[in-house]
Amino acid sequence: GFHSLVSSGTSSKQVRTEEDSVFVGYGSMLMEGTVATLVVMAVAAGIGMGYTTKAGETLTGVAAWTTHYSSWAAAAGLGSKVAAFVDGSANLLSTLAIPKGIGVVIMGVFVASFAGTTLDTATRIQRYVIAELSSDIKLDFLANRYIATLIAVGSALILAFVTGASGKGALTLWPMFGAVNQTLAALALIIITLYLQTKGGLKWMFAGFPALFMAFMTIWAIIVNQVHFLGAQNMLLTVINICMFIVVVWIVVEGLIKFFSSIGKAAPEPAPAT
């Protein structure tokens, strides 16, 4: 989901030609897949190469694995996941004669840099979104880059500190991250499906079935989350989750209406080359 925002919000403005989008977009996702594979290796095999408990005991192999992943609750939370990645990666780097202490520092900087660049990109995209929405809601002053940036940064600042969480207020919404992210993914796939439909034939199927799968899984996840939020009496996440459910259903229904209303219509003429 977030990748679709990045590619449409920033990457599309940076490529020289449309043909370059294939190399940049697909190549980037191949690299993303490579990084994901390395992360899985780090949090799986890497943990087994050495794990230090809170008591200071160093474990390896199955003992290390079962200690860190003793239950779903034991490995829950962002901190536990980041620690598994950093420690596991440092263990893998130790096979290259890099001391584990230095490896931990390297991977810690890597994680912080990744978070920093993601925050920068997300802020930039949010500014674009605010500026583009300004024309729809007839508030042209929001298109000003400084005002749009102030709103983007200010809203994040309020979320981080106004809850009294000492800058960690955003973690309040962390349980919603997956559903929100995949909602964006479903939206992107539906838009791609509608675009491919204009090309004629069955090309739309390449994105259509993944779009339905993504929408179904997102709705399922939202329902499961709702049960947990209600059980925990978390009214903030309960209300936001209900809003997300409405948004996802709205996206799916609107996409289906557009899809079926376009059946049999001639594809639009391509724009002249410039």
98-106 long-range contacts (CB < 8 A, ≥24 apart) are 100/50
> Would you give the DSSP letter of residue 52?
E
Using the structure block, give the residue that is written with the tokens 């996840």: 221
Mean pLDDT of the chain: 84
206's enclosing H/E stretch is helix 205-231
The string over 193-231, giving b where at least 16 C-beta atoms fall within 10 Å of a residue's C-beta and e elsewhere, is bbebbeeeeeebeebbebbbebbeebbebbeebbeebee
What pLDDT was estimated at residue 105? 92
**Residue 246's pLDDT band (boundaries 50, 70, 90)?**
very high
The answer to whether 217 and 260 have CB atoms below 8 angstroms apart is: no
List the domain boundaries for the chain.
2-162, 174-261
pLDDT digits (tens, 9 = 90+) for 108-156: 898 888 888 888 888 888 888 888 888 777 788 888 888 888 998 888 8
**Residue 272's pLDDT band (boundaries 50, 70, 90)?**
low
52 beta partners: 58
pLDDT digits (tens, 9 = 90+) for 29-47: 899 899 899 999 988 888 8
Query: 177-197 and 205-231 helices cross at what angle (nearest 10)?
Result: 160
Output the CA angle 67-73-76, nearest 5 degrees: 95
What pLDDT was estimated at residue 193? 93
What pLDDT was estimated at residue 271? 57
Q: Is the pTM of this model over 0.85?
A: no
Question: Which two three-digit tokens encode residue 183?
Answer: 């909602």
Neighbours of 41 (CB within 10 A): 13
pLDDT of 227 above 90: yes
Question: Which two three-digit tokens encode residue 32?
Answer: 């993303």
